[in-house]
Chain A
Amino acid sequence: MTNTTIADEIKSQHRGGWFLGISLILHIIVLGGVWHFDFLGITKLDTEPQQEQPQREIAIKKLKEEKAAQQKQKLPQEHAEKLVKEEEQRAAREMIQKVKMLEEQNQQLEEVRELKLEEVRDVPREAVMDRIKDKAKELEDRTRQIAKQLPTDKLKELQSKANAVHNAAKRLKPEEDPKSKESDEKLQKALDEFEALSDEMTKEKELQWAEKKFAQELNKKVEEIQEMAKGLEDPMQRPNVAQAQQMLEQTPPQTQQTDPSELQQMTPDELYDKAKALEEKADQTFTDIKAAELALMQNTTLDQAKENISHTPPDRPQMGQELAKQKSELQTREDLNKFRDQLDKTAKEVDAMEVATADKVKQAQGMAQMSKAMAGNKQSPQQQYRARAMMQKFSSGRQANVDMSQLMRQMSMPLSMSMSQSGVGKGIGEHRKTDGGTGGYDDPDDVAPTNIKGINIPSGKVMAQALPGQKFSKDSARHGWLYLDTWYIIGPWENHGKLDHREIFPPELSIDFDAKYQGKNNPRGKDKGKPMELRWQFTQSGRIQVVPPNEMSNSVYYAYTEIHFEQNTDMLLAVASDDSSKLWINDIVVWDDKTHSDWRIGEGSRKVFFKKGYNRLLLRLENRGSETEFSVLICPPTFK
């Protein structure tokens, strides 16, 4: 071999490499081309699947059979264990994150619960007086009814005593008044006299059975007033103070963040059970918060508020057990696939738990915002109570036109924002200064809702010109009245013909579009007598009035929607319903009409405040007759 030969050989080796390279490139191009065209379907026969050649179908069938046989093959134990572990680790990674979030959410809810219960505990004498006044009026009304029904001397005497109780209750004075002690004693005296007479009536042999029964019924009401009157003398005797104190003392241990290494060691079924327990705990805490909020807003006792809440605890399947069972029985590839599906379902369920709890946290924080704003403004419990009572009074449907924008602005925004923006006029949303521009409202009287005059909603014109809308901007081409046409609606629940909005149904506790609830009983069909399964339904109305799906008599429906504003804005709002309705904007009640009335576009109007961004609207609709509908319209207050 010569030198030249060796050099040539080296060169040829080099060339060989290039040949190999070029050939590889060519192969890649050809294969890539085939793959690409195959992807686009060009290399396949351009025929519909059902017209393809039978050979192909036979081949597919054979392949499927082979695959099915493979699925049934037993997996080697070691291999199966390894695969199961890998799958579990994958699912656990997602679930650990959600469990951590659920723990955080529980802590947030617990903070709000404490805040709300403390508020209930600190409720002032003024609130107790109002409760006594309401109850005394109720007593007087009932005695009048009874005396009409059965006009006997004894019952007439009882009526005059009830009248005395009501008058004494009306004369109750706030704490700071020196005459308050005197009026307390008068009430006590009137109550004692009523009680003595009713006791005497129940024992007297000569009296009719009906008279005795009525006396007993009325005595029960007096006992309730007596119980509340005790709270006038001693705050510790007030039912709410005692119960809130008890609930605060019996608070379950605060949720602690589990150590990450501990969570890492947990199996998916253990993680699922933990998430389930956390969701249940969060739900319980949220129910307490809602009861406290209701007690504060409606000025009732905590017990009564709890009774009125129709609460449905979260119903989650026993997936942890199912998962553990599938794992222990896992043998074939098919079992592995089933196990994998079950793991995915479990992770999804934990995800849903987190989403549902996050919604509760959002609502609870909304409720806490007002408390924090008031506490931040150093308002006394009396002032806080007055602010709530004002909202309650002015949201009532008996008040036709009310400006609630100032108070809503304060309640809707964080304290710092409300302070920095107070007194800063912004076009439509301009509002008055309260303390010389330094910001902050010291007293609810400064921002109290006021009756507004001169609002006229021309029915014919609005009906003809109103447009649908969900998003509003200053520069929008649409002016004038806009109606909300897109809603999620759920119902019906039973209201037994009462339009008092007293019983609270789940949508008032939290908005969960995926939830299923039990509604009123089916009046007909194969499921007659069984409760209806209720779900949120998307509804878009082609006209101003919105009719809920599945209209029924004596029913309660809820409608939920969101609207968007480009900036903080005050708007006129017109609510109308057949029969009664209650409307919340960002969890603040702005309209509460309990009357049995037909739909009329200008039934009532409010000047309300909408914050920048998304605003939540929840409407409760109740009816007696079989037909029901509602409408919500908004319009800039400057529009003529």
Chain B
Amino acid sequence: MRFKLENDEDEEISMGPLIDCVFLLLIFFLVATMLKKDDYDIDINPPVSESAVKLPPRDDVLVIGIDVEGHFYWQGKATTLNQMHDRLRDVAEAQPDRSIRLDVDQQTPFHRVVEVMNVCQFRGLKDVGIRTYDKHYNRR
């Protein structure tokens, strides 16, 4: 028995699912990249605070680190005192409202902390916070 087949031209493999998959992958990578936060942490043991306010990580926060020996770090990279002064002056001129986070060790000489806070205050940078120990974050 012969059946007459209709025109086969329409019987192509649909591209729809492929496009769906590509889009999904695209969205996946997009979201994954956006979620990745820059890590400016230095090797310190921050002080413990019971009353510290938990804030979500932000990329626009300027991180200044001071290690146990009193060495300075700018966004996770070692820096000198001269450079820190110059950079803070530039930040104060360009973004006076910029948030600053101080990452200091429990054993960091306290005068170093006062020194940085004094420079920030003198330059008009008022949004300065200190990172404290967080048992979830610091366990990583």
Contacts and interface: CB of A to CB of B under 8 A. Distances in A.
Interface of A: 2-3, 6, 10, 13-14, 16-18, 20-21, 24-25, 28, 32, 36, 40-42, 44, 46, 48-49, 348, 351-352, 355-356, 359, 470-471, 486, 512-514, 536, 538, 540, 562, 564, 614
A612 to B, nearest CB: 14
B82 interface: yes
B122 A513 contact: no
The winner among A24, A40, A356, A536 for most chain B CB atoms within 10 A is: A24
B122 A514 contact: no
A16 B122 contact: no
A44 to B, nearest CB: 7
B21 A20 contact: yes
Contacts of B25: 24
Given A17-B16, A471-B122, A24 B82 contact: no
Contacts of A40: 136
Contacts of A6: 11
Contact of B111 (A14, A16, A538): A538
B81 A513 contact: yes
Interface string B121-140: 01000000000000111011
Given A32-B31, A44-B139, A359-B82, A17 B20 contact: yes
B24 interface: yes
A20 B20 contact: yes
Contacts, number: 85
Contact of B115 (A25, A28, A355, A538): A538
For chain B, what secondary structure do more than half of its interface residues adopt (helix, strand, loop), or is it mixed? helix
Contacts of B48: none
Contact of B82 (A41, A352, A562): A352
B140 to A, nearest CB: 8
Given A21-B21, A25-B24, A356-B82, A540 B16 contact: no
Contacts of A513: 80-82, 85
B139 A49 contact: yes
8 contacts: A14-B14, A20-B21, A28-B24, A40-B136, A355-B82, A513-B81, A514-B81, A564-B122
A20 B17 contact: yes
A17 B17 contact: yes
Contacts of A16: 17
Contact of A13 (B13, B137, B139): B13
A355 B83 CA distance: 7
B38 interface: no
A10 B137 CA distance: 50
B16 A10 contact: no
Nearest to B19: A17
B107 interface: no
A14 B16 contact: yes
Contacts of B139: 41, 44, 49
Nearest to A561: B122
Contacts of A352: 80, 82-83
Contacts of B14: 10, 13-14, 17
For chain A, what secondary structure do more than half of its interface residues adopt (helix, strand, loop), or is it mixed? helix
Contacts of A48: 135
A42 B21 CA distance: 31
Contacts of B24: 21, 24-25, 28
B106 to A, nearest CB: 16
Nearest to B123: A564
A6 B10 CA distance: 11
Interface in B59-116: 78, 80-83, 85-86, 89, 111-112, 114-115
B27 to A, nearest CB: 8
Given A6-B11, A17-B18, A513-B82, 7 more contacts: A2-B3, A17-B20, A20-B20, A28-B31, A352-B82, A513-B85, A536-B81
A443 to B, nearest CB: 37
A352 B80 CA distance: 8
Nearest to B18: A17
B85 to A, nearest CB: 7
A538 B21 contact: no
Nearest to B80: A514
A10 B3 CA distance: 20
A507 B69 CA distance: 25
A2 B1 CA distance: 13
Contacts of B31: 28, 32
Contacts of B5: 3
B17 to A, nearest CB: 2
Contacts of A564: 122
A355 B80 contact: yes
A351 B78 CA distance: 12
B125 to A, nearest CB: 13
A562 B78 CA distance: 25
A304 to B, nearest CB: 31
A393 to B, nearest CB: 34
Contacts of A13: 13-14, 17
B6 interface: yes
Given A25-B24, A514-B80, A10 B11 contact: yes
Nearest to B13: A13
A540 B122 CA distance: 13
A514 B20 contact: no
A21 B80 CA distance: 52
A425 to B, nearest CB: 28
B88 to A, nearest CB: 12
A466 B136 CA distance: 48
